[in-house]
Amino acid sequence: MPLPSPLLGRPGAVEGSGADAGVAAHYGDPLPEQRRLESGQAVADLSHRGVVTVTGPDRLSWLNSLSTQLLLGLAPGESTEALFLNVQGRIEHDCRVVDDGAATWLLVEGAEAAPLAAWLDSMRFMLRVEVADASAEWAVVGAAAEVPQLAGRTVWRDPWPGVAPGGYSYSGPEHPAAGRVWLEYLVPAAELEAAVEGLPLAGTMAVEALRIAAWRPRLGFETDDKAIPHELDLLRTAVHLTKGCYKGQETVARVHNLGHPPRRLVFLHLDGSLHTLPGVGSDVMLGEKAVGRITSAALHHEAGPIALALIKRNVDPAADLVVVDGTERYAAAQQAIVAPDSGQVVGRQQGFLRKR
């Protein structure tokens, strides 16, 4: 969709920055917006997101051969998540996937749409598929509940934090986001203003706070050029462990069955006495030693300042950490998302880690 979004013309709108530029970070009331979004009383303008379409009779079998997810037989309206990895098993693209019976829609970060479409187009060979970057023609609207006003439109339903068929959980048996609902509706860009007319709006600050509280990884934030799915608990929704060959599968299988991921994602409760948030990339310290970095941070309407961080796997999950951003130091209590003993599944008794 052409940016900036027309919804930035709404009263109080303040534009986001970085990956969320082009849409509103908030409309003047960040925390009330967050509460309304969480309770299903508001929607979020995500028209800065990328949309890639794949059409043709071979689309699902072709995408299945390239991705980490089992897409054969994906029913119209069914949602899933799929990763495209490099040969070392590192994450290159993370796609929210839904098929409408005629096209497969891949919802991605805005900056990812063009390179993803170009790469997919280069992989078509003689198959009956067509790939298009449709970001200019389509907008995305996010919601934490069904929106009757948007009924009948193609919608992606986030499977997180469920454990999809063929997936595996690297976190504990109780997930704080159990029962979570997150929907992303596809709306023609030209109809965006009319589609949300009369609906309260929430900005991306609200979306991010709810995402972080749900331990939900985001491409470009929780990922870097070394990230593998195991580190982020993405085996639960984005990887089918027995689907067959795809690029990077050897690494996925080896780490899961025989090894351990080198890093693990953690949720941090931050000291709120500074009334600020650490920046992305801030060091996470154990004593005088840097053991990781902040990947996302937000002010939650109930939990206060919270963050996600990637840290070394062997850091004691009971240890108190400190986040350092310049001269500011934030005490941080960690909550394990990926268990320190994740991986090495072959020969071990099942218990803390769960599969489907």
The span from the CA of 84 to the CA of 69, in Å, is 9
Residue 231 marked ligand-binding: no
- What is the sign of the dihedral through the CA atoms of 280, 302, 46 and 101? positive
> Other C-beta atoms within 10 Å of 165: how many?
12
Task: State how far Cα 302 lies from the chain centre.
Answer: 22
The span from the CA of 71 to the CA of 116, in Å, is 18
Residues 205, 30: contact at Cβ < 8 Å? yes
- Among candidate residues 80, 169, 171, 160, the one with its CA nearest the CA of residue 355: 169
- Report which residue type is found at 52: V
**Token duo for residue 13:** 């709108």
- Report which residue type is found at 291: V
Residues 187, 265: contact at Cβ < 8 Å? no
**Beta bridge pairs of residue 321:** 332
* Secondary structure letter of residue 331 according to DSSP: E
List CB contacts of 273: < 8 A, sequence separation 6 or more.
none
The packing angle between helices 204-213 and 30-38, to 10°, is 60
**Token duo for residue 142:** 């996010």
Spell out the alpha helix ranges (H) of 47-104.
Answer: 59-66
Whether a cis peptide bond, with omega within 30° of 0, leads into 4 is yes
> Other C-beta atoms within 10 Å of 188: how many?
13
Binding-site residues for substrate, please?
A: 174
Binding-site residues, please?
A: 174
